[in-house]
Amino acid sequence: MPPQTGESTRNAILDAAEAVFARHGYDGASLRAIANRAGVNQPLIHYHFESKDGLFRAVFRRRAGAINRQREITLQALRLESGPSAPVLEQVVEALLRPTIELGHDSRRGGRHYAQLVVTMANAPDDRSKSLIAENYNAIARTFIAAFRECLPDLSPADAVWGYLHAISIALTLMAPTGRAGDLTESSDSERADDSDIEAVLERTVPFICAGLRALANRGNAGRAGDTPSPVAEAVAGKRRRA
Amino acid sequence: MPPQTGESTRNAILDAAEAVFARHGYDGASLRAIANRAGVNQPLIHYHFESKDGLFRAVFRRRAGAINRQREITLQALRLESGPSAPVLEQVVEALLRPTIELGHDSRRGGRHYAQLVVTMANAPDDRSKSLIAENYNAIARTFIAAFRECLPDLSPADAVWGYLHAISIALTLMAPTGRAGDLTESSDSERADDSDIEAVLERTVPFICAGLRALANRGNAGRAGDTPSPVAEAVAGKRRRA
DNA sequence: TGATCTTGACTGATCGATAAATAAAGATAG
DNA sequence: CTATCTTTATTTATCGATCAGTCAAGATCA
């Protein structure tokens, strides 16, 4: 094979690595399998990326910025649009979710594989995963936690953190569609739960998260006022000390 | 070493395997590391569990039933308590969450390690993970999806599935506390977000999920009535076709 | 000429798995 | 009560395969 631009083979290796790492994890992925999938030979990976660890970090670095840049641009636009008042919570939550979900559903490019990789790493306990997640996602987390509190002034700092983590938990699962939603739909049901339709997913998920965030904001200052439809506080707090 | 009862060494191996699998994943875990941690030698694992895969499945099987049994017992008690009317949604959601969160915070026994294992497997794309998750958690999923619809008659079957998946996404993340909640709290904040306090976590998470479920139930039939505090539908549905 | 890529061979380590020997406990028989 | 056999539990030693990483020697293009 004649030498390519250099950049194109690099990307071919990264694409292959993204897919193999996503499917088999860091330890389960072999450089031989990656080289084979990329149509190159194994020493070339060391030529370009030094080591297996270097390749893994390169895979992550290539995609990491893109999502967060898109999130921040959208959020900035929402701030301009709303002027001095706070932006609409629904739009803020959508700005947080949409880039990840769209990437996860992008099967032409390797987006789906990267999505799977992030989901796994976000919940992995090893140092490599934790450091890469923190490096790439703590800044954007703080940005959106602050935005939540702009929309909901009653939301305490700690509750904003919890709300963000809940939102991200949901978003991560939606990034890597497994088809489980369809599996759990009974055959007798009129409509199937389809995790491949981005807009349908967002129309169900954004209101879910926004309602949850508003509930956190109203927690405490609603107190024992009778306007909440159920005896929530006692049921949760008072119950259980015996299993 | 004299031969033990057999059962005690089996459990020692399972405990060690649970911890090592949780930390390094299936491929990253070596039978030698597991044997070393268990205080036995490596071939004994094959004597008791046939193969690495057999050991892994045994680890999973040992814990899988316990959580779901506890969930079903609690749900059954709620049904008896409420009589002919539907049980309180908050209590149903708590019945779903509490066993997993308690297990994840149980550091004396290996519960924390198993929790970490489940979180990883729930989002992993390989066949072993998917089949084990489906075998052990699809039945309980259908039970709680049905319970949600009892509490919220307006909740469509598909929305109940989505609500359940969202709830489980959150619960899974809470099972394996990473301390990220504390990391994301600013030092200036009055209260820290602490993921180690089970009751505090539940008091924030149960209302979040219940509010989300109710929002899904009210989706559509609330329509353009002015009682919802924000222009939700248009903002989510109409926006975006340009990035 | 120099950057890019291929080929092939090799190292040292580690992996899952197996075979064979052994030690203790329990049953059985004289 | 004791000698023998069986079963279960465990160890030592080792096999073949595979892994990441290295090196040397060349090939192909700009």
Among candidate residues B33, B182, B173, the one with its CA nearest the CA of residue A158: B182
A34 CA to D24 C1', in Å?
24
> Tell me, what's the pLDDT at B221?
60
> Tell me, what's the pLDDT at B4?
56
Contact A176, A107 (CB under 8 A): no
- Minimum distance, in Å, between the CA of residue B6 and any CA atom of chain A: 31
pLDDT band at B223 (very low <50, low <70, confident <90, very high): very low
> Tell me, what's the pLDDT at B1?
43
- In this complex, the residue with its CA at the shortest distance from the C1' of nucleotide D18 is A30
Instruction: Please count the CA atoms within 13 angstroms of the CA of A103 that sit on its side-chain side.
Output: 26
Question: Three-state DSSP class for A226?
Answer: coil
> Tell me, what's the pLDDT at A14?
95
Reported as a single tens digit per residue, the pLDDT across B56-82 is 999 988 888 888 999 999 999 999 999
CB contact (8 A) between residue A134 and residue B183: yes
User: Is 80 exceeded by the pLDDT of residue B101?
Assistant: yes
Contact B100, B115 (CB under 8 A): yes
> Tell me, what's the pLDDT at B96?
96
> Tell me, what's the pLDDT at A67?
87
Q: Model pTM? A: 0.84
Is B33's CB less than 7 Å from nucleic acid strand C?
yes
Reported as a single tens digit per residue, the pLDDT across B167-206 is 999 999 888 877 788 888 877 777 777 778 899 999 999 9
Among candidate residues A52, A44, A32, the one with its CA nearest the CA of residue A1: A44
> Tell me, what's the pLDDT at B230?
39
Is A46's CB less than 7 Å from nucleic acid strand C?
no
Q: Mean per-residue pLDDT for B95-100?
A: 94
pLDDT band at B124 (very low <50, low <70, confident <90, very high): confident
Q: Mean per-residue pLDDT for B207-219?
A: 95
User: What is the chain B residue with the closest CA to A155?
Assistant: B204
Mean pLDDT for all residues in chain B: 85
Q: Which of A219-233, B15-29, B104-118 has the lowest mean pLDDT?
A: A219-233
How far, in Å, CA of B138 to CA of B132, rounded?
A: 10
- Phi/psi at A44 (nearest 5 deg)? -65, -30
Largest distance between two CA atoms of chain B = 77
Between A173, A213, A236, which is nearest B123 by CB? A173
Reported as a single tens digit per residue, the pLDDT across B126-155 is 889 988 999 999 999 999 999 999 999 999
> Tell me, what's the pLDDT at A112?
87
How far, in Å, CA of A24 to CA of A200, rounded?
A: 30
A-to-B residue pairs, Cβ atoms closer than 8 angstroms: 225
> Tell me, what's the pLDDT at A3?
55
Residue whose token pair is 């700092």: A157
- Minimum distance, in Å, between the CA of residue B57 and any CA atom of chain A: 18
User: Is 60 exceeded by the pLDDT of residue B122?
Assistant: yes
CB contact (8 A) between residue B230 and residue A90: yes
B135 CA to D11 C1', in Å?
37
Contact B185, A182 (CB under 8 A): no
Tell me how far CA of residue B215 lies from CA of A188, A207, B240, in angstroms: 24, 6, 23
> Tell me, what's the pLDDT at B177?
76
What average pLDDT values come out for chain A (243 residues) when binned by 10 residues? 68 95 94 94 94 94 88 95 93 95 84 89 88 91 96 94 95 85 82 84 95 91 42 41 34
> Tell me, what's the pLDDT at B181?
84
> Tell me, what's the pLDDT at B81?
92
> Tell me, what's the pLDDT at A95?
96
Helices (H), B29-88: 31-38, 42-49, 52-82
Segment (H or E) for B118? helix B111-122
Better-scored residue on pLDDT, B184 or B233: B184
CB contact (8 A) between residue B236 and residue A202: yes
How much of chain B, in percent, has pLDDT values that exceed 90?
59
